[in-house]
Structure 1
Amino acid sequence: MRAFDNPTSRKPALAGAVAAAALLLSACGSGSGSDSDSTSGMDHGAKTGASATAAPSASPGAFNDADVAFAQAMIPHHEQALAMAKLADGRAEDAGVKKIVADVERAQDPEIRKMKSWLKGWGRPESAGQNGHGGAHGGHDMAGMMSEQDMKDLESLKGKAFDRKFAELMIAHHDGAVEMARAEQKDGRNETAKKLADDVVRTQSAEITELREILGRL
């Protein structure tokens, strides 16, 4: 019976060897995806292989201090633009101003959420003041930010007076955002953050042109 038993007893061992070989080939063929998933966490932009080990494991990929500063500064900047846009409800009269308000709300709220997710993935606080280096980027010292008095003045107006003041303040506000975005284009490392900076420069520069045209006719 020994000659009959041997082929059968070898079948599990042979099947195990085939399965092991298949797993090894599968791992070799999909290594870049597996490495990216296991080492990058929320990383949507980091490269695999040697580059992945050299780059920080953060979302959305490798970053530097300029990327962090851009996100930390642009979040409150966008939040103030949304607060200005909210004041337009029941106060704005000009159709062009109302269009700008809608554009700001549509673009900047998602961008805020996006930048907050980056900072969380990078392990950095949302506010620059929490870094221990002061809070200038989180307050009214930032480029284009309105003072509390500016906001109160805007809130007190209605109709054409509101439209004119809104356009003036939003031009200055957008100028500040474009300035920060250009700094990110120049000094940033993270490709996703630099792409958002490109979007800010393009869209807000166009809106500045529209706002100047509105001022010209008011």
Structure 2
Amino acid sequence: MAPRRLPTALLLLTLLTGCAGEEGREAPSGPGSVQAGTTPAPLSPSADPTDTAWVQLMIPMDTGAVALLDLAAHRALGPRLRSWAAGLRAAQTSELAALRGLRDRMGLPGTDVHEGHDMPGMVTAHDLAGARAAEGTAFDRLLVTLIHEHLEHSMRVSRSEIAAGGGAAAREQARALVTARGEQLAGLTALRDRDH
């Protein structure tokens, strides 16, 4: 079977952010990957393809991060990490609501076009299973690694949206996300520095 092709706008975002093969992750392949002949989710006639790709990527990225941060409330060993994770969870939940609202205003479907994909910054079902199995400092290390990757890559994707997106509302949301990510990454760095 021929390899599937990513929708053009998503491919642009992926290439701009250098997602493929970075940090030990590979471009999606196998079950759940987008393959040739796949019909992308229908777009609203007014939806810009880059905006669409960004929104449809950011929602599952944030959804996975929130699921991981839910675990941190009960599994994180370090009290500072637990407190920081709770604050980040609240911020990500609010951001997710804004992204879903934007998706709805753009007339996009609520389906997850990235279900089953293993991409940098995406907390996958496999990652969540590993987090549920980890305890103590092993959980804390995994949480920090996965969340750092999520914050870093979602910021890169959002910078690409700012540069290439066609809709003012999507670009504005992307700018807010980039600002938030800078603060969140600084907080995580400070937390790690205090613990070392």
TM-score by structure 2 length? Answer: 0.67
Deviations 1:96-149 (A, max 9, x none): 3223322222222222222222222222213363xxxxxxx4443333113433
Deviations 1:128-173 (A, max 9, x none): 63xxxxxxx4443333113433222211223333222211111011
Structure 2 alignment gaps of length 5 or more: 1-43
- Give secondary structure in 1 for the equivalent of 2:73: coil
Distance 1:97 1:90 in 2: 11
Q: Does 1:214 align with 2:187?
A: no
Q: How many residues align?
A: 151
**Alignment partner for residue 90 of structure 1, among 68, 74, 79?**
74
Tell me if structure 2 keeps the 8 A contact 1:73–1:138: no
**Alignment partner for residue 176 of structure 2, among 178, 182, 199?**
199
Q: Does 1:176 align with 2:153?
A: yes
Change (3 A) 1:74 1:138: farther
Tell me if structure 1 keeps the 8 A contact 2:51–2:161: yes
Distance 2:183 2:76 in 1: 20
Misfit runs of 4+, over 6 Å: none
Distance 1:168 1:140 in 2: 19
**Which of the pair is proportionally richer in helix?**
1
**Alignment partner for residue 103 of structure 1, among 87, 90, 97?**
87
Q: Does 1:148 align with 2:125?
A: yes
RMSD of equivalent CA atoms:
2.3
**Alignment partner for residue 57 of structure 2, among 59, 67, 73?**
73
- Give secondary structure in 1 for the equivalent of 2:109: coil
Structure 1 alignment gaps of length 5 or more: 1-57, 130-136
- Alpha-carbon distance, 1:63 to partner: 4.8
- Higher RCO (C-alpha 8 Å, min separation 6): 2
TM-score by structure 1 length? Answer: 0.61
